[in-house]
Amino acid sequence: MTGSLRAAITGVGSAVPKRVVPNAEFEKTLDTSDEWITKRTGIKERRLVSEGETTATLAAEAGRKAMENAGITAGDLDLIICATVSPEMPMPSTACFIQEILGATDVPAFDISAACSGFVYGLSVASQFIETGKYKRILMIGADCLSQVADFTDRGSCILFGDGAGAVVLEPTSEPDKGVLYSVMHANGGGWDYIHVPAGGSRAPTTLETIDQKQHFVKMRGRDVYKFAVEKMQWLLGDCMEKCNITVDDVDMVVPHQVNIRIIESATEKYNFPMEKVFLNIDRMGNTSGASIPLALDEAVRQGKIGPGSTVMFVAFGAGLTWAGAVVKM
Ligand SMILES: CC(C)(COP(=O)(O)OP(=O)(O)OC[C@H]1O[C@@H](n2cnc3c(N)ncnc32)[C@H](O)[C@@H]1OP(=O)(O)O)[C@@H](O)C(=O)NCCC(=O)NCCS
């Protein structure tokens, strides 16, 4: 029987910080403008954490809402996975903090590090546990607070990031054509320096110099990332449709990594995806990394743009370099 099981998304939830930071805030400290940021990225504002808000608190709130939406409680969980590259602490995992906040005593918990592809990587990993029958209820969360590792003197990167968390509950279904129909993951470590935080790990442990030289902040080759992102998003859209034997007409909604409106438009134009089939919240959220896709998914569900029976495609890419996609029938 386990051979016919698929992982279905039975609950969604999200959480964002209270503080709204419009583009105009950056005009006060950087040589930039609301007009430049809006035109080049599609971002108008983002949410950034303040006192008392962290990756784990946002993740736990998103997780709690997803469980409520699925009609389950922490006691029902078999596994918690958190995709993040801005963890609560370097050690232990953010998933363990989430487990503690939710009161999911003894439930296994671990993190996935695949940057902006993290949630889709996690969806693929979690699906395997469900398909094999190993676990029945998995809380899969994407959460990031990149504002905590962003260099607010670097106008080429800090304007992009927002903080937040999104979560789904995954449960088995044996209904045909429901759940995670397809998932794909890729990586190219040769591009590690496209987006990275140089210090704080074993290669460059924390010293006064690494702090002084701002080596604990995100370094990004923006233009190179842009080209990589368009190429991989196009490839993922094509691969997902080909492997599932579907066309643009069969897809109800693409939920792309909310990276940059120009990247998303360039990629989706290749297949003539009408923009009403592409869910966007980048104007209000910015790039929330691992949270981006589940946060957008939750909004799309709450707005009634995605519902039972919808065929949804997730496409993501990020530091690593990593890229990942999935096709889900809700
Ligand atoms: C970062 C990004 C918005 C820059 O936009 P762009 O159109 O590629 O701009 P460029 O890097 O070519 O820079 C053009 C000019 O704008 C300037 N610029 C960069 N950031 C700016 C800002 N916030 N405000 C004003 N000017 C800015 C550059 O310094 C450059 O000036 P120059 O021509 O005098 O050298 C864009 O490359 C991007 O979105 N890349 C992907 C990054 C990303 O999404 N990373 C996360 C991936 S998961």
Cβ contacts of 75 within 8 Å, gap of 6 or more: 104
CA–CA gap between residue 120 and residue 81 (Å, rounded): 12
Query: Quick check: 220 pLDDT over 70?
Result: yes
CA of 226 to the centre of ligand 1 (A): 9
By most ligand atoms within 8 Å of CB, the mutation choice from 37, 223, 233, 287 for ligand 1 is 223
Catalytic residue positions, numbered: 116, 257, 287
pLDDT of 217 over the 70 cut: yes
Q: What does the pLDDT read at residue 2?
A: 47
284-294 burial, b for 16+ CB within 10 Å, e for fewer?
Answer: bbbbbbbbbbb
The CATH fold assigned to 180-329 is: Peroxisomal Thiolase; Chain A, domain 1 (3.40.47)
> What is d(CA 47, CA 292) in angstroms, rounded to the nearest whole number?
12
Tell me the per-residue pLDDT of 29-48, one tens digit each, with 9 for 90 and over. 999 999 999 999 999 999 99
Query: Using an 8 Å Cβ cutoff, are 94 and 84 in contact?
Result: yes
Mean pLDDT value across the chain = 97
* pLDDT tens sequence across 183-209: 999 999 999 999 999 999 999 999 999
Residues of the chain with CATH 3.40.47.10: 2-176, 180-329
Distance CA 248, CA 327 (A): 12
Query: H-type helices in 245-291, by residue range?
Result: 261-269, 282-285
Are 82 and 59 spatial neighbours (Cβ–Cβ below 8 Å)?
yes
Best of 27, 120, 226, 262 to mutate for ligand 1, by most ligand atoms within 8 A of CB?
A: 226
The rounded percent of the chain whose pLDDT value lies above 70 is 99
Q: Where are the beta strands (DSSP E) in the chain?
A: 6-15, 19-22, 45-48, 79-83, 109-112, 138-145, 163-173, 179-187, 195-196, 219-220, 253-256, 311-318, 322-329
Query: Cα of 317 to ligand 1 centre, how many Å?
Result: 18
pLDDT tens, 88-131?
Answer: 999 999 999 999 999 999 999 999 999 999 999 999 999 999 99
The stretch 290-311 carries a mean pLDDT of 98
Three-class secondary structure of residue 2 per DSSP? helix
Which tokens go with 59?
């993740």
Pairing state of beta strands 79-83 and 109-112?
A: parallel
CATH 3.40.140.10 correct for 2-176: no
pLDDT, one tens digit per residue, over 55-89 is 999 999 999 999 999 999 999 999 999 999 999 99
